[in-house]
């Protein structure tokens, strides 16, 4: 698939995830009889809408996500219909409010789990890479893989000093040893075979030995179990990434990258522009396992950001609801607005900075 079409598919899929997120809030609110006023795709001027029962559904002009409007959530609007005061957001028990709010970000974990499971079942588990094809020629000469006698179906179990390497680890290790002989141990029909290959750099600055990696497809139960583990591992890595990005060192690295010629930190933030570019490259090369795993990772990351316990994020609404439970009385949401504004400014700074860097100083592979 062409690069542009791959990027478009990635962006449309992210837009669908936003609506699934809002759908989580919607289903939770319907379950506990909250008064839902609107469920819209997009923001800004209303383009088209219809009413079914007491809820207005529709599309707005700016395709930047969507929202579910629950009566009583906006402190600056008196939007609770007469007679529905008991169904307003603030009138509901704290535990119901928490469930409704968490249903949005938790939908990200469910979607990511399903995507990872599908990758393991149909596209293959990239954590168990195997050789599906050996490229005979690279840069006009016999490829290192062909010279070494690598065969289709071989499974790489060791590269250098790395045992059971993942696809990414294989690529990283090869890139770090261009022009240097590397020992590979492969599983060939149950027998361990040792080969030596020397990665070469191609004209497009790629590093290759002449192999195309796929993976081992898994049975459904195994795939779903592995997908759960993958969601956990990705979540742990993403939490660590958030801590680094928003920590003192992360802020310094971001500012340095923005206002100097210093190399960009690979641990810094990557915007949706960078992620979309990486997805475009993957799709254009037919690397669909990587395409969908990248998409699942972005989905998880967005869900985690929404769980940060600061308003106006979903985690902030949960924190406020729990604080109200502890204190025994409602919090004036108008007083929370300045905090929300500061949080949005900080997130906006990081987002815009990452977009600028991804456009003018992209990381390799994005």
Q: What distances in angstroms separate CA 260 from CA 212, 247, 263, one per listed residue?
A: 38, 20, 9
Is there a contact between 46 and 60 (Cβ–Cβ < 8 Å)?
Answer: yes
Residue with tokens 């599906």: 132
| Rg, C-alpha atoms of the chain | 25
Catalytic residue among 22, 54, 77, 85: 22
Nearest residue to 22 (alpha-carbon basis) of 7, 51, 42, 52: 42
Spatial distance between the Cα atoms of 222 and 228, rounded to a whole number of angstroms: 10
Q: Check if 54 is active-site.
A: no
Q: Which residues contact residue 119 at a Cβ distance below 8 angstroms, ignoring those fewer than 6 apart?
A: 125, 126, 227, 289, 292, 293, 296
What positions carry a catalytic annotation?
A: 22
């Amino acid at each position: 698939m062409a690069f542009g079409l791959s990027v478009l598919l990635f962006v449309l899929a992210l837009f669908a995830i936003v609506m699934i997120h809002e759908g989580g809030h919607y289903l939770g609110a319907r379950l506990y009889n909250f008064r839902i006023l609107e469920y819209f795709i997009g923001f800004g001027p209303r383009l088209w809408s219809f009413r079914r029962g007491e809820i207005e559904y529709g599309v707005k002009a700016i395709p930047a996500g969507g929202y579910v409007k629950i009566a009583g959530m906006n402190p600056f609007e008196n939007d609770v219909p007469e007679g529905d005061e008991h169904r307003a957001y603030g009138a509901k028990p704290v535990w119901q409010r928490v469930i409704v709010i968490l249903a949005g970000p938790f939908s990200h974990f469910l979607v990511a789990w399903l995507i990872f499971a599908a990758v393991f079942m149909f596209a293959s588990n990239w954590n168990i890479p195997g050789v599906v094809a050996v490229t005979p020629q690279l840069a006009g000469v016999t490829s290192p893989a062909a010279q070494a006698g690598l065969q289709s179906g071989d499974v790489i179990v060791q590269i250098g000093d790395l045992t059971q390497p993942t696809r990414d680890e294989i690529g990283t290790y090869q890139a770090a040893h261009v022009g240097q002989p590397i020992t590979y141990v492969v599983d060939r029909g149950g027998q361990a075979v040792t080969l030596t290959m020397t990665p070469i750099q191609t004209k497009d600055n790629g590093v290759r030995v002449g192999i195309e990696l796929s993976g081992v497809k898994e049975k459904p139960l195994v795939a779903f179990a592995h997908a759960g583990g993958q969601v956990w591992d990705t979540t742990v890595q993403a939490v660590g990434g958030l801590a680094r990005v928003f920590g003192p060192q992360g802020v310094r690295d971001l500012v340095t990258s923005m206002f100097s010629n210093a190399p960009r930190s690979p641990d810094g933030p990557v915007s949706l522009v960078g992620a979309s570019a990486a997805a475009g490259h993957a799709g254009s090369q037919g690397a669909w396992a990587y395409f969908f795993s990248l998409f699942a990772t972005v989905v998880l990351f967005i869900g985690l950001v929404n769980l940060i316990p600061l308003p106006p994020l979903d985690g902030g609404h949960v924190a406020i609801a729990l604080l109200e439970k502890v204190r025994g009385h409602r919090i004036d949401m108008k007083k929370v607005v300045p905090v929300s504004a500061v949080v949005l400014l900080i997130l906006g700074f990081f987002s815009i900075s990452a977009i600028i860097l991804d456009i003018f100083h992209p990381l390799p592979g994005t």
